[in-house]
Structure 1
Amino acid sequence: MGSIPMQRETEYRSSVTAPDRPGPPAVVRTSLPGNPLAPAAARRFVRAALADWTELGVSAAGGFTDRLADDSVLLVSELVTNAVVHAGTAVELLCRLDGAVPGESNEFLVIEVSDHHPSRAVRNEQGPPPSGTPEYGRGLQLVATLSESWGITYRTGTKTVWARLPIEGVQAVHEIESYASEQALQRGLRAAEILAPLPKRATHDTDWVNRGALTFLAEASDLLAGQFDEDLVAALAGQLLVPRLADWCAVWLHDTSEGVGRGTDGGQGARLARVWHTSEHRIEELRRVLEKEPPRLPDAAGSGAFPVPWPGEALAGDSSGTALAYRLAAGGRALGALVIGRAGLVRFPDEVTGLIEDFSRRVALAISTARRYQRQANISQVLQRGLLPSQVAQIPGVDSGVVYEPRDKGGPGGDFYDVFQAGEGRWCFALGDVQGKGPEAAVVIGLARPWLRLLAREGYQVAEVLDRLNQLLLDDATEAADAAAAVVAVAGGQGVPPDGPTSRFLSLLYGELVPYEGGVRCTIACAGHPLPLLLSPEGEVREAATPQMLLGVVDDETYTSVSFELRAGETLLCVTDGVTERRSGRLQFDDGDGLARALAGCAGLDAGLVAERIRRLVHEFSERPPDDDLALLVLQAR
């Protein structure tokens, strides 16, 4: 059916207008979601804006330099992290080019990050915050270091942090985006040099050190945000820290079922998820020693470093050193602990402890995100098992083939199918598509599928079943489904759905099969669904039903059905719009009767092979993965 597609990923490139005469500065803006992926999206947006301005030949683009690109990306990354990750709010990002003002020769790149929680103070303390205070990071420290000037503007309902960066170079940037990817390794090497053990570290000015460390944090954030398994987050944290910052690293994670709160680190429910050491042969012995006693961090430790005993028993040859533990917490909830150690040091340098504190916040946020994702995936899997039949009924004289591929693998889609026995000598089948996706669609499917079975087993004819199901989707019973959808959405961490009823429009292909000697009598009705196709043994294809209105749209709609004989060797193909509307550029799979031509090429194949061939052709139609649920049902008379 023509459901409204969910946007898979926000496109952060914006169109930019280049004024051909003095006038308003070029401006680009975007909105970023309130989740840990927003900083990476902001970095992509800034790089794209610089590249667009360069391509369009705005006057200021001649002054774009590598330094400006690097500084602007770092600045926006920390500001968005501060607003989204620490303040927990969506933000608006604006970039503009300001011309020179009287008395100045430079032009400026202005970056503004606005959020809608102006009551929240902008924090920049160096010491640990009081217990229970949200962690805000140190974005303003970076702003002051990189920008020519900066400030905070409060408006009704909005707080904006802005910064001006001078455009003063002469080297044109031809490909900012390619520059970013080419320089990633170099920046990583620079960060590694900065973060080397103190005796090996070269002497650098403070400005250079701060830039390298913040680059490391920005790139670490990208890597961590892309993981949706908490054990992979722990493994990645160890690889990022060792050997750059420490000789070894360990990550403990609390059991999510223990209900661990702030200040109760360690003890039962804590497991050692990952141990990493510069010498691989020491990892197992270090794990054995560390597992004996998880770190216990007092409330007074806050998010900062807390000294823990040096595990000398496991580190032969390194009898002394310094070990520090950091609480991993997000949303006021303790998730675990991060422990690092370095041999031969009396204490870690302050620059390193502060950097790891910021890094540990990012690890905690990535773990929290991974847990929310896994919780939603578990709920989705439970829903999915309840929405689809445990098995497809075997119909005498009929072979069947089924393909079901939800767009979100493992999660509930808007498509469903069913094949069941409705009574003595009667079998029914259904293929449906609910507008929308996720829990709301799942609730509608959970309502429709049992009613289909109940009405069929009560002896209602095909058209009568659709009449009654249509009325069910329109009456007050659906309000209960709306309320249930809201509960499911909140339990899955999605928040309360927008005000108003959930999607209840349903396209449905529903039919009844009555086998008899020499064939099968088929009665079918199609409500707003792609029409079923009938394939003869000779390869001829024709439509097997007539189109009718979607279910759940018009009250008192009267549906009709058609009947025909499904003879030996004939194949009935039923699909959802994930097949017919599969796109490749501007073309759809069913353009020019594409589905009929694909089915005609399946003459002579059994039901299972027909289903698999259509599935393969749909996937091969475009290089991009399918952006909608895909379901098809094949019934073939023997």
Structure 2
Amino acid sequence: RPVVRPLPAGAAPGADAGREWTDNGALSFLAEASDLLAGHTDEDKVASLAGQLVVPRFADWCAVWLRDDDRSRLPRLARVWHAHESHIEELRAALLQDPPPAAPRTLPGRAVACPWPSAGAARDGRTPGAAVRCDLVVGGRSVGTLMIGRAGLARLPDEVLGLIEDFARRVALAVLSARRYALQANISRILQRGLLPREEVAVPGLDTALVYEPAGEGTWAGGDFYDLLRLPDGRWRFALGDVCGSGPEAAVVTGLARPVLRLLAREGYSVPETLDRLNREVGEQARFLSVVYGELAFRDGLVDCTLTCAGHPLPLVRDASGTVRPAARPQLLLGVEQETAYESQSCTLHPGDTLLCVTDGVTERRRGRQLFDDGDGLAALFADCAGLDATGTAERLRRAVYAFAPELPADDLAMLVLRSPAPDEAPASG
């Protein structure tokens, strides 16, 4: 990759000097800048990277101001970078005292000369130089200002000004992209808080553990979801589901599913009746939903489980001897056929038995062509968790999912572990 050589201090500011700066890799520099700036999700990191790209290749120092949508607020000095680190704080103090004004409306995104920072800050050998500022403009809107300075020059060559303008446009696009990502991530966090239970996940009398890890940073809410609900008569309902797809449309289905499940359970509908009605609601949204939905009833040290598995990885039960078996039969995804009649299956958790429910972020974790659950891999690993409590079981499975492939999971990861304590164990508290 060609290297852009910085103009020697004291060099003449004529056309030859401009070519010295721009002819030795200017296009390579802009391509590198576009590549490095793209994809950043934090506007302050974009500002920091911009300074490091410019200094010392084209300038002795660089400063970036960021401006939000509230025009009444002054721009924020986000980053100051200097070829000599000992000058950074001095330069910052001077720039805070005398921030650059916005460029004239007639020169949007153009580099214009501006005064060297006051009090002799940012000097190199106490020799002042030339400074320019360039508004960071994208879509006709300024998102900030880039300012650079080079000691020992009366003015910056025109060739360099053009290069800085091209660079500033790339910085502006990266800042706007980072802001949009941050806005989406914030909306997602707000949605996620509203779509999941606020209360602690625990069922009195059972050892309970939950793993819930959305894939990616700042992704849209609306993938996997879970719920636990105590009914007035002491029974419990639980759900672990996965909306097909992502984005706000999937979040709508997630936002629909949990309230409907809760409402119908409180109104006395059975497990299959509840899914019959939710199936019709999901079908009207033109989306699909997989879910394992069940009820827990306690009697004489036993836990009776009523389960329905609709298009979801089958729930598994491990008994005290370590034998693992499916706890339900597979049935159709919700939203495929509105007139589907769902059925439930029953099992009983004896002391020492454990019920495991997972989403396909576990079973379909991929390593090349191999899936985590190929050859009943999940059941084999679950059987090997004998002697572990619910938290230990969940953690061993979680670590195994991550260790299965070198890259991070591309799908949400969720699992619910419900274990009936053995007679010599203290029951879980509510």
TM-score normalised by the chain length of structure 2: 0.92
Aligned runs of 1:36-435 on 2, under 5 Å?
184=1, 187=2, 190-193=3-6, 195-197=7-9, 199=11, 209-210=22-23, 212-256=25-69, 258=70, 260=71, 268-296=73-101, 297-315=103-121, 318=126, 320-411=128-219, 412-435=221-244
Contact 1:392 1:419 in 2 (8 A): no
Q: Is the 1:396–1:515 Cα contact (8 Å) retained in structure 2?
A: no
Aligned-residue offset at 1:534: 0.3
Secondary structure of the corresponding residue to residue 359 of structure 1? helix
CA distance in 2, matches of 1:619, 1:393: 23
Equivalent residue letter for 1:250: A
Partner of 2:304: 521
Q: CA deviation at 1:211?
A: 5.7
CA distance in 1, matches of 2:267, 2:80: 61
Structure 1 unmatched ranges of 5 or more: 1-183, 261-266, 479-500
The 3-state SS of whatever aligns with 2:5 is helix
Identify the residue that residue 398 of structure 2 maps to in structure 1: 615
Task: Decide whether aligned partners of structure 1 residues 268 and 207 sit closer, same or farther in structure 2, where only a CA change above 3 A counts.
Answer: closer
Q: Indicate conservation of the 8 Å contact 1:312/1:319, yes or no.
A: no
Q: What is aligned with 1:436?
A: 245
CA distance in 2, matches of 1:600, 1:310: 71
Cα distance change, pair 519–276 in 1 and its aligned pair in 2 (3 A): same
In 2, distance between residues paired with 1:329 and 1:273? 16
2:427 is matched with which residue? none
The structure 1 residue matched to 2:294, chosen from 501, 511, 515, is 511
The 8 Å contact of residues 530 and 580 in structure 1, kept in 2 or not, is answered as yes
Letter of the structure 2 residue corresponding to residue 421 of structure 1: R
CA RMSD of superposed structures (Å):
2.2
Per-residue CA deviation, residues 18-57 of structure 1 (Å, 9 max, x unaligned), is xxxxxxxxxxxxxxxxxxxxxxxxxxxxxxxxxxxxxxxx
CA-CA distance at 1:396 after TM superposition: 2.2
Counting only pairs closer than 5 Å after superposition, residues 485-634 of structure 1 correspond to structure 2 as 501=286, 504-634=287-417
The alpha-carbon deviation at position 342 of structure 1 amounts to 1.6
Mean CA deviation greater in 415-424 or 309-318: 309-318
Deviations along 1:426-451, one digit per CA (max 9) or x if unpaired, are 11110001110121111100011110
Which structure ranks higher in relative contact order (CA pairs < 8 Å, sequence separation ≥ 6)? 2
Q: Structure 1 residue 393: deviation in Å?
A: 4.1
> Matched residues in 2 for 1:369 and 1:466: separation?
41
Q: CA deviation at 1:394?
A: 2.8
**8 Å contact 2:312–2:359 — kept in the other structure?**
yes
Aligned in 2, Cα 1:568/1:385: closer, same or farther, shift over 3 Å? same
Letter in structure 1 aligned against 2:40: Q
Counterparts in 2 of 1:196 and 1:601: CA distance versus 1, 3 Å: farther
CA contact (8 A) 2:63 2:77 kept: yes
After TM superposition, give the deviation of residue 462 of structure 1 in Å: 0.6
- Aligned partners of 2:12 and 2:114: how far apart in 1? 25
Query: Retained in 2: the 8 A contact 1:399–1:636?
Result: yes
Q: Which of 197-206 and 215-224 deviates more?
A: 197-206
Q: CA deviation at 1:567?
A: 1.1
Query: Structure 1 pair 200/538, CA: closer, same or farther in 2 (3 Å)?
Result: farther
Contact 1:521 1:563 in 2 (8 A): yes
Give the one of 270, 274, 278 matched to 1:461: 270
Q: Which moved more, 1:615-624 or 1:525-534?
A: 615-624
2:18–2:158 contact (8 Å) kept in structure 1:
no
Question: Aligned partner of 1:363: which letter?
Answer: V
The CA distance in 2 between the partners of 1:630 and 1:231, in whole Å, is 30
